[in-house]
Structure 1
Amino acid sequence: MNNVKLHFTEKALRLIAQKATAKNTGARGLRAILESILTEAMYEIPDVKTGSDRVDAVVIDEESVGSASAPGCGGKILRGEGALDRYLDETKLKDLAENAEASDRESQEGEGEVSSRAMSM
């Protein structure tokens, strides 16, 4: 109704399912979990604003959901035109950097193992 996008990350969907499973709930319990995550956004979105104050999207990530035993911080409200695209670009860059660091560490650990094997011969 308000032209606001709703984006769930894969990890967030898995955490929501884990919460529902931990509480042994059905569809109503799942609805309650989603309402608790989206409560703030549900009150923010109807306030029609323009420009940089306009709500462009709500992002639900693992931080928004929390863990199976603890509540999260709620949906992230993104404001301004194209805010969701900017957010997704930033998270992709962050993920690429983290993956590159992890692969560098793995390759450095692998090189250490090779040199130690060579010395032991």
Structure 2
Amino acid sequence: MTRRYLDRKTKERYKRLMRSDDYPKHITEHGPKIPELDETLTPKRIIYLKDVSAEPCSLSEILEEKISELNKTAEETSRYIKHVNNHLDQQKIRINELKKFQKIFEKQIASLDANQKVQQN
């Protein structure tokens, strides 16, 4: 984000403050750089190519581990699908109830309109 100066006086005052410090700094649009802060804010990337403390595994052990992970994922997915289906069933029941209420409401309004027309005649 670029630094915006309100007016020329603010920019000149900022330059004077920077010159009065013990060590030279640069004035840029982004403001002065603080080395300690810049190092902490930059993300550090670590790439692990191999688990150092792991013992060598056979192919069957790796397959069993992957299959167990796949089974867990499938179980979680099936539980989620059951939950969603249950929720949808409840919503369908609620919609059917609302449709019944709407029909009752329309019948009552129609009967009131008929009563009102009879009273007007």
Q: TM-score range by the shorter chain?
A: 0.3 to 0.5
Q: TM-score, normalised by structure 2?
A: 0.41
Structure whose CA Rg is larger = 2
Considering Cα pairs closer than 8 Å and 6+ residues apart, tell me whether 1 or 2 has the greater RCO. Answer: 1
